[in-house]
Amino acid sequence: MTDHALLLVNLGSPASTKVADVRRYLNQFLMDPYVIDLPWPVRRLLVSLILIKRPEQSAHAYASIWWDEGSPLVVLTRRLQEAIKAHWPHGPVEIAMRYGQPALPEVLERLAAQGVRQVTLAPLYPQFADSTVTTVVELARQTIAARNLPLQTRVLQPFYDQPAYIDALVASARPYLDQGYDHVLLSFHGLPERHLTKLDPTGSHCFKSANCCETACSQVRKVCYRAQCLASAEAFAKAAGIAPGNWSAAFQSRLGRAKWIEPYTETRLDELAAAGVKKLLVLCPAFVADCIETLEEIGMRGREQFVEAGGQELVLVPCLNDHPEWVRVLAGMCEQA
């Protein structure tokens, strides 16, 4: 056993479906300044208002998708951890969550105590956003500095357009594509528009034209979440052999009254049903492991909405999870990192 660890980091989950555990998790998540990027007093007030009713609502949603082993997100990330160990000969393979358990700071401290001196940090997010990648990297950096841990880190960069990642996505979806469909919807997690505009290095890209993300320069695309999502969608459709008119991309999981990036998945579901789409396949390529946003938001509420709007069947294509091709590809990308 050598001293170079691989640390897979995912979003996280409540410890259970109890309202108190969900409230604790939501408070940690929403109080992250990279998630709600408002001054602390405003953020504290807003989150306190959200926590009046949201925990009970979310607890019901979590209960509807909870597995006997626990949170699907955590269980699936652990399965990925076990599968990738055979591909990482350099040291231990661990997982951590940005919110909830196992907590990232404690995992880093445990690795240091085991004699690990180098860590390849792998945020499990294909596309870049401050609210996913940056918050993980910054928490790791702050923890190492504050606790004086003798760790050096290397970070897996966003891989939204890596051919190997796209090929793994196609391989995991192929059994569902081969069963036939009328349309394929790629539904990505949404973000408030201001999360993108504040990172725009040119000051002239974000939302200045209808196709701004499709024509983004490399400098912009490096930090533009929406542009990266659309690039992932287009690359997937091309690699999967899906005709241009038979797929589209949209953004889900809006929260609050801020303007979020469009088009909205909810709106798109109604539009597709109204256009005569009967069998709809939905992929969620912003996630590499199934979670409440895929299993409940799309697989349950989205399916119900689509059928009520006139569609017949919504098929949720599972995330990459621990698909063998994804395990091989992720290990290879981490090796290069």
Name the fold adopted by 4-158. Rossmann fold (3.40.50)
Radius of gyration of the chain (CA): 20
Taking residues 190-214, report their average pLDDT.
81
Confidence band for 299, pLDDT divided at 50, 70 and 90 = very high
Same fold for the domain at 4-158 and the one at 163-316?
Answer: yes
Taking residues 309-318, report their average pLDDT.
98
Four-way CATH pick for 163-316: 3.40.50.1400, 1.20.120.1630, 3.90.110.10, 3.30.70.1150: 3.40.50.1400
Residue 210: predicted pLDDT: 61
| Rounded distance between C-alpha atoms, residue 182 and residue 177, angstroms | 10
For the annotated binding site for Fe(2+), the residues are: 189, 293
Residue 284: predicted pLDDT: 98
For the annotated binding site, the residues are: 189, 293
Residue 215: predicted pLDDT: 78
pLDDT digits (tens, 9 = 90+) for 145-160: 999 999 999 999 999 9
User: Three-class SS of residue 4?
Assistant: strand
Closest CA to 13 of 95, 99, 81: 99
Residue 258: predicted pLDDT: 81
- Residue 201 — φ and ψ, nearest 5°? -70, -15
Residue 298: predicted pLDDT: 98
Q: Where are the alpha helices (DSSP H) in the chain?
A: 19-30, 40-65, 72-84, 104-113, 135-146, 163-177, 193-197, 218-221, 225-240, 265-274, 292, 303-308, 324-336
High-pLDDT (> 70) share of the chain, %: 98
pLDDT digits (tens, 9 = 90+) for 69-104: 999 999 999 999 999 999 999 999 999 999 999 999
pLDDT digits (tens, 9 = 90+) for 238-274: 999 999 999 999 999 988 778 999 999 999 999 999 9
Taking residues 25-38, report their average pLDDT.
97
Residue 2 reports pLDDT greater than 80:
no
Residue 207: predicted pLDDT: 67
| Rounded distance between C-alpha atoms, residue 130 and residue 52, angstroms | 26
pLDDT digits (tens, 9 = 90+) for 102-134: 999 999 999 999 999 999 999 999 999 999 999
Q: Where are the domains of the chain?
A: 4-158, 163-316
